[in-house]
Amino acid sequence: MFLMVSTAFAGEPPVDEDIQGTEEIVSDDDVVVDDELDEDVEEIFAEAFDEIVVAPAPLPFTTRGNAPIPAFAPPSDPAVQAYWNQRHTFEQYEALFKYLAGRYPLHVKLYSIGHTWEERDLWCLEISSNGKRDGKTPVAVVGNIHGGEQESAEAAAYTAWWLAAGYGARDAAAIDALNGYVWYIVPIMNADGYARSMYTGTRQNMRPRGLARDEYFDRNGDGKVGQMFAGGSATAPPFGGALTLPSGATSNWAVDFALNQITDTANNYLGYEAYDTNGTGRFGDSTKQSAIDMNRSFDYFWTLYRPGNADSTAAGYPHLGANGTWNADPTLRNAGPYPASEPEVKAIQDFFTFLPPRAMITGHTGIQCVLFPWCYTPFPTDDHAFMSGTAEQMRVAYESKVQTIRPNVRFYQMQSYFDYPTAAEMIDWLYGRLGTHAYTVEVYNRGTANATNCVWDDNAWWNENFPARWEYIGQIRDGRSGSNQRTYNDVWVYYSTSAARAGEAPPDQYILCDGFKDCALAMAYSEQRNSPHPGAPAWMKWSFFTTIPSYL
Ligand SMILES: [Zn+2]
């Protein structure tokens, strides 16, 4: 019996029923004992490929900046070839995840564990040798809690892809990684921030902030969103090609204009590339981001020692938890209006309450290190020796892989508090509530490496390839109807350096990803195989007894 699955990567993805139904393909008789894995893998694959035939997919992704290179390491299954020196959109990731689940229905399950404010799915790939989690050691990876830290999403997605396709290709290392372990990988936790960061840097999520909104729109189709000015001529950009921000402008210039916080009578500023459908005369006056840093908003010592708290000042503590300005408006607090207020954070907490991992990584970008709890206090955890030892193994694994092509790149490890103190971080929640050995892995710090600095050696690429530039797009309309419509002539778009490089990948992203995978494997191997988590405390599960998601 042959079932053809979509042969074109860009074609119809497998429908949810196929994904959810994969457990039925393997009967209880097929549950393997992992020390007999090799034989059973043969058997399972023979059975699986009797059921499902998948022709090789075409190359799935288009280039953003870098010429594509083939996959760096095993797996070599050409059906799931992907290019990891490129930056992928959220939609490309969704297509890849669905493709992996359809290609490997026995060892890859895909489901959404929740949603974002803008109704994007929080995809989880559950990867195990035989589609069974019972009796195995659960380990987890969550990428991109900070939207603009795109490298962390690439690294997490790469790890899922490596496990899924590597096992599919019967790569020995991937088989070992699934021997006695079940992996839960959520590559993009801040899916809205990730999508927005393709245009403009966004650490925060996208909780609405109440402004009338014109969403950004790439008016000239060059894959970037810049800021528009009307006037001048087709041959002469505004400001004579230079640009100085008006006095009082912040980085969120269009919103400043919309709120009348600054004026611009001289320069004919229009706003971000967008339509002005709400007729304010400002294009793209959308919220760029919320005020919320989701990694300060978990339900564990939430807003401890907040700014303005006399006790915290007296004790000499920095602004733990709120990470900056305390705002009387609860929706404008960095830590959110109340503990676990954000749907993305709630989804992660709910998911891990029911499927607690033994060990877990949350991925970030900005420095290069492995950190472990506590974040909120300088005191050590009860597992300090274990987690610091594992963090050192993870650090060495990451660094040694990267140094095969970048000898000067370095990583460090330490208790998170001593990197900088925070409260209500994900790793404190995981360890504090569930006893999970939890690690923050920072995958990338741009800059120039040298003997002492802990940074990626891409400074030449970063600075030289994305200079600020002007582009002429001519006449545009604001997108309103009838007599309301306005027309603007001789419009120019200005791309700052950061706007020009948004959504671009460093050329060596693939080694950044592969080193992260090695780091994740080191974390998994620090935990005994076939050692399930004993389960969350009963009180954590009370609120779910009537609403257990069907996939659990
Ligand atoms: Zn981060």
Give the separation between CA 371 and CA 391, rounded to whole angstroms.
7
- Residue 222: φ, ψ to 5°: -100, 10
Of the listed ranges 7-11, 128-132, 175-179, 295-299, the one predicted with least confidence: 7-11
Q: How far is the CA of 362 from the centre of ligand 1 (A)?
A: 9
* Residues flanking ion ligand 1, Cβ below 5 Å: 146, 149, 364
Q: What is the pLDDT of residue 200?
A: 77
Give the separation between CA 225 and CA 510, rounded to whole angstroms.
26
pLDDT band at residue 249 using 50, 70 and 90 as cut-offs: low
Give the separation between CA 322 and CA 477, rounded to whole angstroms.
42
Question: What are the extents of the domains in the chain?
Answer: 227-286+477-499
Is 523 strand, coil or helix? Answer: helix
pLDDT band at residue 225 using 50, 70 and 90 as cut-offs: confident
Tell me whether residue 435 is exposed, middle or buried, using C-beta atoms within 10 angstroms of its C-beta: 0 to 12, 13 to 18, 19 or more. Answer: middle
pLDDT score of 88 more than 50 = yes
Q: How far is the CA of 349 from the centre of ligand 1 (A)?
A: 18
Q: What is the pLDDT of residue 280?
A: 79
Residues 6+ apart with CB under 8 A from 547: none
Q: How far is the CA of 144 from the centre of ligand 1 (A)?
A: 7
Chain centre to alpha carbon of residue 329: 28
Give the separation between CA 77 and CA 60, rounded to whole angstroms.
14
Tokens of 331: 């929706």
Number of separate helices (H) and strands (E) present in the chain: 16, 14
Query: Averaging pLDDT over each range in 27-31, 132-136, 218-222, 448-452, which range is the top one?
Result: 132-136
Cβ atoms of 198 and 498 closer than 8 Å: no
> Model pTM greater than 0.75?
yes
Q: How far is the CA of 319 from the centre of ligand 1 (A)?
A: 17
Residues 6+ apart with CB under 8 A from 531: 137, 180, 358
Residues 6+ apart with CB under 8 A from 448: 455, 457, 459
Look-up: residue for tokens 């404010």? Answer: 117
Q: For residue range 355-397, list pLDDT tens digits in order.
A: 999 999 999 998 899 999 999 888 999 999 999 999 999 999 9
Q: How far is the CA of 203 from the centre of ligand 1 (A)?
A: 7
Q: How far is the CA of 221 from the centre of ligand 1 (A)?
A: 30
Of the listed ranges 62-66, 184-188, 499-503, 538-542, the one predicted with least confidence: 62-66
Is 130 strand, coil or helix? Answer: coil
DSSP structure string for 222-285: SS---EEEE-S-SSS-GGGG---PPTT--S-HHHHHHTTSS--SSS-EEEESB--TT-SS-BT-
Q: How far is the CA of 365 from the centre of ligand 1 (A)?
A: 6
- Select from 205, 183, 190, 117 the least CA-distant residue to 153: 190
Give the separation between CA 165 and CA 57, rounded to whole angstroms.
13
Is 270 strand, coil or helix? Answer: strand
Q: How far is the CA of 263 from the centre of ligand 1 (A)?
A: 34
Q: What is the mean pLDDT of the chain?
A: 78
Q: How far is the CA of 357 from the centre of ligand 1 (A)?
A: 21
Q: How far is the CA of 367 from the centre of ligand 1 (A)?
A: 9
Of the listed ranges 111-115, 334-338, 450-454, the one predicted with least confidence: 450-454
Consecutive H or E run containing 124: strand 121-127
Q: For residue range 484-525, list pLDDT tens digits in order.
A: 888 888 899 988 877 877 888 877 888 899 999 999 999 999
Q: How far is the CA of 522 from the centre of ligand 1 (A)?
A: 21
Q: How far is the CA of 464 from the centre of ligand 1 (A)?
A: 25
Cis peptide before 429 (omega within 30 of 0): no
Residues 6+ apart with CB under 8 A from 209: 287, 290, 291, 331, 332
Q: List C-alpha distances in Å: 552 to 18, 239, 350, 493.
A: 17, 59, 11, 49
Q: How far is the CA of 95 from the centre of ligand 1 (A)?
A: 25
Q: Is pLDDT larger for residue 526 or for residue 449? A: 526
Q: How far is the CA of 141 from the centre of ligand 1 (A)?
A: 14
Consecutive H or E run containing 161: helix 150-168
Q: How far is the CA of 477 from the centre of ligand 1 (A)?
A: 38
- Select from 523, 511, 251, 210 the least CA-distant residue to 395: 523
Is 250 strand, coil or helix? Answer: coil
Q: How far is the CA of 291 from the centre of ligand 1 (A)?
A: 15
pLDDT score of 343 more than 70 = yes
Q: Is pLDDT larger for residue 308 or for residue 98? A: 98
Tokens of 85: 């020196």
Q: For residue range 112-157, list pLDDT tens digits in order.
A: 999 999 999 999 999 999 889 999 999 999 999 999 999 999 999 9
474-499: b (≥16 Cβ within 10 Å) or e: eebebbeeeeeeeebebbbbbbbeeb
CB atoms under 10 Å from CB of 244, counted, come to: 8
The residue count of the chain comes to: 552
Tokens of 501: 């490089």
pLDDT band at residue 9 using 50, 70 and 90 as cut-offs: very low
Q: How far is the CA of 323 from the centre of ligand 1 (A)?
A: 13
- Select from 241, 229, 194 the least CA-distant residue to 88: 194
Q: How far is the CA of 412 from the centre of ligand 1 (A)?
A: 16
Give the separation between CA 199 and CA 222, rounded to whole angstroms.
11
Tokens of 228: 């528009």
Tokens of 470: 């002007």
Q: At how many degrees (to 10) do helices 509-525 and 384-402 cross?
A: 150
